[in-house]
Structure 1
Amino acid sequence: MIYKTTLQHITWSFDSLKILMAKASPFRSGDLLAELTAGSYEERVAAQMALADVPLARFLTEHLVDYDSDEVTRLIIDTHDAASFAPVAGFTVGELRDWLLSDHADEITLRSLAPGLTPEMVAAVCKLMRNQDLIAVAQKCVVVTAFRNTIGLKGRLSVRLQPNHPTDDLKGIAASMVDGLLYGSGDAVIGINPATDSPATTGGLLNMLSDIREKYSIPTQSCVLSHLTTTIGLMNKNAPVDLVFQSIGGTEKTNKSFGLNLSLLQEGYEAALSLERGTVGNNVMYFETGQGSSLSADAHEGVDQQTCEARAYAVARHFRPLLVNTVVGFIGPEYLYDGKQIIRAALEDHFCGKLLGLPMGVDICYTNHSQADQDDMDNLLTLLGVAGCNFIMGVPGADDIMLHYQSTSFHDALYVRKVLGKRPAPEFELWLRHQGIMDDQGNRLVVQPSHNLLSAI
């Protein structure tokens, strides 16, 4: 179908919904690389005006990626909840935007609406919103998940403790873990990116994490971010797997490039559930995503990168995850060139994920060849804290010495909790008090060399 609008006596025409969505997207380097972006600001505004008039129901019949050839599209369409969609079924994209920003769209209403929205719908309305709008709506979406603690409650901000090491040295990892715990990080997950994906290495890291967690009765969950097939193999050997990790994308071809499909994800999900390791909940999956992953795999199917990213959230939503993390600036300047583009993309991802009912966290990060710096990350950290982000990363010194990129530090987490009055997950907060790490007001206490956690290293 052709979409048209007239702007200052000039008629702009867009040959398909896929093209219209791409032209309406705020500028970013990845869409330019894919030759999808609008050719001018005027064309972008014209596309946004035309997109505002598109009925939401159109996205259920005009698929951006072919239904017959893409299992992510089939998942989106076949699992769509028509009853949840009914209250907004008569809206256009522009009307959905206005409604989301109104007082009628409150926490309870948005929670009930989430199963009725498709990724393409939320990606479309996102393209019509300023950064302020994205924050205002996301802040109203409360998504709570649980495993050994409860993540996502109002007034809470959790932290993934990321103690990576370039050689997977157990002592080095343990030192970073203890460092993070003593700064109040680790309630989202203690998650290690292994330097190698060998089952032996992954198994050793899992055992070490489990031993330390059990020795100190830490109410959190652990994860080694190995490939799904490695984790399934280890679960079959009774390894202490809490969360099953996998990077996912928004098209079948993207996921194939990651060595997976929906059937394999289902196998991992069921295996993790069968272990019954959670104590306060059974959300067992941890997914990571990022704008540009489909394009980098030449698997974007002509869809703009923000919409591809939102489609990945349909995959995540199907498996009721504990955590979904958009690693927003990790992929590099070819896809998000500078701090401005990284900030916009992070707010988009957080908004889209939350509106779809996902427990969104953000790795507030950049690579050293991007036109960004730590001041940009400070800005983004504060904005996401206001927006109600479920969790962020805690990396020693904000510098991941294994993955070679810049993220947020344990100190950054203390900062944003302090200035915004945020607290850790309740079970973890109680543990921090009992350990003498924090007081009742959330202030960090001085830890003596004799503290029992230091015996872990």
Structure 2
Amino acid sequence: MAYRCDLGGERYRFPDLKAVLAAASPLRSGDELAGLAASSDAARVAARTILADLPLTTFLNEAVVPYEDDEVTRLIVDSHDAAAFAPVSHLTVGGFRDWLLGHEAGPAALAALAPGLTPEMVAAVSKLMRLQDLIVVARKCRVTTAFRTTIGLSGRLATRLQPNHPSDDPRGVAASVLDGLLYGAGDAVIGINPASDDVETAIALTTMLDEMRRHYEIPTQTCVLTHVTNAMTIIERGAPVDLVFQSVAGTEAANRGFGVDLALLAEATDAARSLGRGTVGDNAMYFETGQGAALSADAHHGVDQQTVEARAYAVARAFRPLLVNTVVGFIGPEYLSDGKQITRAGLEDHFCGKLLGLPMGCDVCYTNHAEADQDDMDGLMLLLGQAGCSFLITVPGSDDVMLNYQSLSFHDLLTLRTVLGVRAAPEFEAWLDRMGMTTPDGRVRSLEARHPALTRLLDHAGHAR
């Protein structure tokens, strides 16, 4: 179905729904690379005008990726909850934006609505929103998950402690874990991206992290971010796996590029939960996404990168994960060229994921060939903190020496918790207090005051050698 709009004496025509969605997107380099971006600012306004007047039910009747060609589309359509959708089913996309910003859309209403929303609906409404709108609505969405810590509670901001090492040296990993714990990082997960796909290396790292966790009775979860098939092999070998990780995307073809499909993810989820290692919950999956993943695999079906990214959240939602995060600037400037585009994308991704009912986090990051710097990341991390982000990723000194990109540091976590008044997950916060690393109000003590904890942790790090 074609869509038309007369604007300023010009007539704009878009051949189908996905063309309207693409043209309505804020300008970004990935859509330009794919030839999907609006031809002008005026065309972008025309597309948004059309989008604002579209009934939400349009997205139930016109698929951006054909049902018969794509299992992600089938998942979205077949799992749609009509009863949950009913309260907003009469609205247009523009009317939905107004409803979301109104008082009626409180945390309970948004939680009840989530199963009735499709990724295309939430991507569409995000395209009509300013940054402050994305923050206001996302802040109202409370999504809580649990394994050994509880993620997503109001007033809490968790972190992934990312102790990557270019040669997977356990001593280097242990040093980075020690560094992060002393700054109060790691309550979402202590998660390593291994430099190698070798199963034996993954088992060694998994075992080391679990030994450290058990030795100090740290209430957190660990994860070696290897491919899901490796994780299932590691489980079969009896290694102490907490979370199973996988990168996912918004089309069947893009997921095939990652070496997965929905059936395999279901099998992995069952394997992870069967271990029963959680103490306060059983959310045992960890998914990572990022705008540009489907386009880089030439598996986007002509859908703009933000909409196809939102479709990845439907995949994640199906498996009740503990954690989901967008690696917003990691894929590179071909898809998000500068700090402004990265900031917008991070807030869009967080908004869409939360609205769909996901425990959404973000890797606030950029590659060194993007037109971005740490000031841009400071801005985005503060905005995400205000938006109620479930967790952020932190690395030593903001510099991941294995993946060669820039993220947030453990020190940045202290800034966020001080400026925004947010605290660690409650189980982890209690452990920090027992270790003598925090004050009664949750602030991390000075290094001198943390010396006894430092001594104990260094002793165990010595054993890791």
Q: TM-score range by the shorter chain?
A: over 0.9
Question: Is it true that 1:382 corresponds to 2:382 in the alignment?
Answer: yes
After the TM superposition, which residues 309-324 of structure 1 pair with which residues of structure 2 at under 5 Å, given as runs? 309-324=309-324
For residues 102 and 441 of structure 1, the distance between their equivalents in structure 2, rounded to whole angstroms, comes to: 33
Question: Is it true that 1:392 corresponds to 2:392 in the alignment?
Answer: yes
Give the SS at the match of 1:240.
Answer: coil
Asked whether the 8 Å contact 1:178–1:456 carries over to 2, the reply is no
For residues 77 and 455 of structure 1, the distance between their equivalents in structure 2, rounded to whole angstroms, comes to: 54
Q: Which residue of 2 aligns with 1:75?
A: 75
Q: Which residue of 2 aligns with 1:455?
A: 459
**Post-superposition shift, 1:290?**
0.2
Q: Which residue of 1 aligns with 2:220?
A: 220
Give the SS at the match of 1:139.
Answer: helix
Give the SS at the match of 2:73.
Answer: helix
Deviations 1:180-211 (A, max 9, x none): 00100000000000000111000000000110
Deviations 1:266-285 (A, max 9, x none): 00000001000000000000
Give the SS at the match of 2:326.
Answer: strand
Deviations 1:127-173 (A, max 9, x none): 00001100010000010100001010000000100000000000110
**Post-superposition shift, 1:11?**
2.0
Question: Is it true that 1:444 corresponds to 2:447 in the alignment?
Answer: no
**Post-superposition shift, 1:53?**
0.9
Q: Which residue of 1 aligns with 2:169?
A: 169
Q: Which residue of 2 aligns with 1:295?
A: 295
Q: Which residue of 1 aligns with 2:189?
A: 189
**Post-superposition shift, 1:236?**
1.3
Q: Which residue of 2 aligns with 1:8?
A: 8
Q: Which residue of 2 aligns with 1:42?
A: 42
TM-score of the superposition, structure 2-length normalised?
A: 0.98
Deviations 1:51-102 (A, max 9, x none): 1111111111100001001000000000000000001111111110010011
**Post-superposition shift, 1:10?**
1.9
Gaps of at least 5 residues in structure 1 are: none
Question: Is it true that 1:53 corresponds to 2:53 in the alignment?
Answer: yes
Q: Which residue of 2 aligns with 1:361?
A: 361
For residues 451 and 100 of structure 1, the distance between their equivalents in structure 2, rounded to whole angstroms, comes to: 50
Deviations 1:207-249 (A, max 9, x none): 0011000000000000000000000111112211100000000
What letter is aligned with 1:148? R
For residues 423 and 444 of structure 1, the distance between their equivalents in structure 2, rounded to whole angstroms, comes to: 10
After the TM superposition, which residues 276-287 of structure 1 pair with which residues of structure 2 at under 5 Å, given as runs? 276-287=276-287
For residues 62 and 448 of structure 1, the distance between their equivalents in structure 2, rounded to whole angstroms, comes to: 61
For residues 215 and 284 of structure 2, the distance between their equivalents in structure 1, rounded to whole angstroms, comes to: 22
Give the SS at the match of 2:11.
Answer: strand
After the TM superposition, which residues 336-355 of structure 1 pair with which residues of structure 2 at under 5 Å, given as runs? 336-355=336-355
What letter is aligned with 1:407? S
Give the SS at the match of 1:68.
Answer: helix
Deviations 1:33-56 (A, max 9, x none): 000000100000000000111111
**Post-superposition shift, 1:443?**
2.2
**Post-superposition shift, 1:448?**
1.6
How many residue pairs are counted as aligned between the two chains? 457
Question: Is it true that 1:407 corresponds to 2:403 in the alignment?
Answer: no
Gaps of at least 5 residues in structure 2 are: none
For residues 386 and 145 of structure 1, the distance between their equivalents in structure 2, rounded to whole angstroms, comes to: 20
Give the SS at the match of 1:324.
Answer: strand
After the TM superposition, which residues 78-117 of structure 1 pair with which residues of structure 2 at under 5 Å, given as runs? 78-117=78-117
What letter is aligned with 2:455? H
What letter is aligned with 1:452? R
278-287 or 442-451: bigger deviation: 442-451
Q: Which residue of 2 aligns with 1:246?
A: 246
What is the Cα-based RMSD across aligned positions, in Å? 0.7
**Post-superposition shift, 1:15?**
1.0
What letter is aligned with 2:32? L
After the TM superposition, which residues 235-274 of structure 1 pair with which residues of structure 2 at under 5 Å, given as runs? 235-274=235-274
For residues 281 and 87 of structure 1, the distance between their equivalents in structure 2, rounded to whole angstroms, comes to: 30
Asked whether the 8 Å contact 1:84–1:113 carries over to 2, the reply is yes
**Post-superposition shift, 1:454?**
1.4
For residues 402 and 114 of structure 2, the distance between their equivalents in structure 1, rounded to whole angstroms, comes to: 37
Deviations 1:332-371 (A, max 9, x none): 0000000000000000000000000000000000000000
Q: Which residue of 2 aligns with 1:209?
A: 209
For residues 90 and 328 of structure 1, the distance between their equivalents in structure 2, rounded to whole angstroms, comes to: 33
What letter is aligned with 2:353? G
**Post-superposition shift, 1:442?**
2.1
Give the SS at the match of 2:191.
Answer: strand
For residues 237 and 168 of structure 1, the distance between their equivalents in structure 2, rounded to whole angstroms, comes to: 20
For residues 238 and 454 of structure 1, the distance between their equivalents in structure 2, rounded to whole angstroms, comes to: 28
Give the share of equivalent positions with the same residue, in percent. 64
What letter is aligned with 1:334? E
Give the SS at the match of 1:163.
Answer: coil
What letter is aligned with 1:167? S
Deviations 1:248-294 (A, max 9, x none): 00000000000010000000000001000000000000000000000
**Post-superposition shift, 1:451?**
2.5
What letter is aligned with 2:265? L
Give the SS at the match of 2:213.
Answer: helix
Give the SS at the match of 1:281.
Answer: coil
TM-score of the superposition, structure 1-length normalised?
A: 0.99
For residues 145 and 412 of structure 2, the distance between their equivalents in structure 1, rounded to whole angstroms, comes to: 23
4+ aligned runs moved over 4 Å, structure 1: none
